[in-house]
Amino acid sequence: MAGISSDVIRGYNDTIILFLLMDRDSYGYEISKSIKQMSHDKYVIKETTLYSAFTRMEKNGYVRSYSKIAENGKRRTYYRITDSGREYYLEKCREWELTKEVVEHFIRN
Amino acid sequence: MDTIKNYLDSMFAPLPETEETVRAKAELGAMMEDKYNELRSEGVSENEAIGTVIAEFGNIKELADELNIADILNKKDGSNAQSAHESNNAGDTDARHERRSREEKAGKTEPAYVNERAETVISVFWPTVTCVYLILSFLCWGWGSTWIIWPVAAFVFIILKRALRIYD
């Protein structure tokens, strides 16, 4: 199977990250690890992609960052989803349903 | 871990030191360190862990907009971009200049280069260096010394970028 195209998934990196922040706050590496695990190793997000998504979403008010001492005693930047981030996530889910439906019409197996 | 730090240093070497770039570097460094430590704790060899972390780092260009380095670069290039636009009338270069000013408005940071080939060289530079680094390191198993490629490459890159730029 060919690897996932970063061009195609780019529009949904924010959605993926926001999904992982829905239930609890998290930090960079934990999020990247969850993405890898939940996609069964089919999608490994690059560090620069992840960081650029964090800063962009913080600018847009979808997440807020704060610094916290983690269990291992290291200071880490944690991210928390905001109300407008939750709204944006739901909007992206609806957009995906529509996209999927449209593209599906043109896929031959 | 030193190799990863050196790699990150060289990635940020051409960038100005601003609040955003300092923060980005620290965050990226933390993510790389976490990944490295986890791989090591899973029993992956030091060299393989370094290779994986560097291969999965991504492209620093992705951060141009978020780091506000667009603003800083534009301020520095502003005057010569304008006069270059006035003094250069050759169709090909003119089109590039137009694209350049469009890109500047859009907040992109890539300057104009002398020709298409120069643009290609610039754009494939870091992927090539990364490949060379990984191939060399895996072939000779010389991780202790091959990291030297990063500071050297950063230096060459700055020279190359200056040499291939359009000046008025």
* Angle, vertex CA B22, rays to CA B130 and CA A37, nearest 5: 55
Question: What's the mean pLDDT in B127-152?
Answer: 87
What's the pLDDT score for residue A1?
A: 46
Contact across the interface for B66 and A47, Cβ inside 8 Å: no
Instruction: Report residue B115 CA to chain centroid gap.
Output: 20
Taking contacts as CB-CB distances below 8 angstroms, the residues of chain A near B56 are 44, 46-47
The candidate with the shortest Cα–Cα distance to B66, out of A86, A91, A50, A83, is A50
Contact across the interface for B28 and A47, Cβ inside 8 Å: yes
The H or E element that residue B146 is part of is helix B143-146
Least Cα separation, residue A61 to chain B (angstroms): 14
Q: Would you say B59 and A48 are in contact if contact means Cβ atoms under 8 Å apart? A: yes
What letter represents residue B34's amino acid?
D
Least Cα separation, residue B36 to chain A (angstroms): 10
B18: burial class by Cβ within 10 Å (0-12, 13-18, 19+)?
middle
Is A41 a domain residue? Answer: yes
Question: Which position has the higher pLDDT, B99 or B8?
Answer: B8
pLDDT grade, residue A23 (50/70/90)? Answer: very high
The candidate with the shortest Cα–Cα distance to B82, out of B110, B115, B104, is B104
pTM, whole model, 2 decimals?
0.65
pLDDT grade, residue B73 (50/70/90)? Answer: very low
Taking contacts as CB-CB distances below 8 angstroms, the residues of chain A near B32 are 47
* Res A27 pLDDT > 80: yes
Taking contacts as CB-CB distances below 8 angstroms, the residues of chain A near B20 are 55
What's the pLDDT score for residue B166?
A: 67
Q: Would you say B8 and A27 are in contact if contact means Cβ atoms under 8 Å apart? A: no
Least Cα separation, residue B60 to chain A (angstroms): 6
* Res B49 pLDDT > 60: yes
Structurally, chain A folds into a number of domains equal to: 1
What's the pLDDT score for residue B45?
A: 94
Least Cα separation, residue B41 to chain A (angstroms): 14
* Res B74 pLDDT > 60: no
Is A70 a domain residue? Answer: yes
Cα distance between residue B25 and residue B6, in whole Å: 12
* Res B135 pLDDT > 80: yes
**Complete edge-to-edge strand list for the sheet that includes strand A63-69:** A26-27, A75-81, A63-69
Its domain, for residue A50, covers 6-102
List the single range of A62-71, B72-81, B142-151 with lowest mean pLDDT: B72-81
pLDDT grade, residue B158 (50/70/90)? Answer: confident
Is A45 a domain residue? Answer: yes
pLDDT in tens, A44-93: 999 999 999 999 999 999 999 999 987 778 889 999 999 999 999 999 99
* Res B2 pLDDT > 70: yes
What backbone phi and psi angles, to 5 degrees, belong to A23? Answer: -90, -35
Of A48, A56, A59, the CB nearest to B59: A48
What's the pLDDT score for residue B71?
A: 56
Which residue pairs, CB below 8 angstroms and at least 24 apart, start in A78-84? A78/A25, A78/A26, A78/A27, A79/A21, A79/A25, A79/A26, A79/A27, A79/A31, A79/A54, A80/A21, A80/A25, A81/A18, A81/A21, A81/A22, A84/A60
Taking contacts as CB-CB distances below 8 angstroms, the residues of chain A near B28 are 47-48, 51
Is A1 a domain residue? Answer: no
What backbone phi and psi angles, to 5 degrees, belong to A12? Answer: -120, 10
Question: Which position has the higher pLDDT, B66 or B126?
Answer: B126
Question: Which position has the higher pLDDT, B163 or B45?
Answer: B45
Q: Tell me the pLDDT of chain A averaged across its residues.
A: 92
Question: Which position has the higher pLDDT, B68 or B16?
Answer: B16
CB contact A66 to B (< 8 Å):
no
What's the pLDDT score for residue A15?
A: 96
* Res B116 pLDDT > 70: yes
* Residues of B at the A interface, defined by Cβ within 8 angstroms: 20, 24, 27-28, 30-32, 34-35, 38, 56-60, 62-63, 65-67
Question: What's the mean pLDDT in B26-51?
Answer: 94
Cα distance between residue A12 and residue A45, in whole Å: 12
Is A71 a domain residue? Answer: yes
What letter represents residue A27's amino acid?
Y
At A77, which CATH number?
Answer: 1.10.10.10
Question: Which position has the higher pLDDT, B113 or B143?
Answer: B143
Is A108 a domain residue? Answer: no
Is A28 a domain residue? Answer: yes
How large is the C-alpha radius of gyration of chain A? Answer: 15
**Sequence-distant (≥ 6) Cβ neighbours of residue B111 within 8 angstroms:** B73, B77, B81, B100, B161, B165, B166
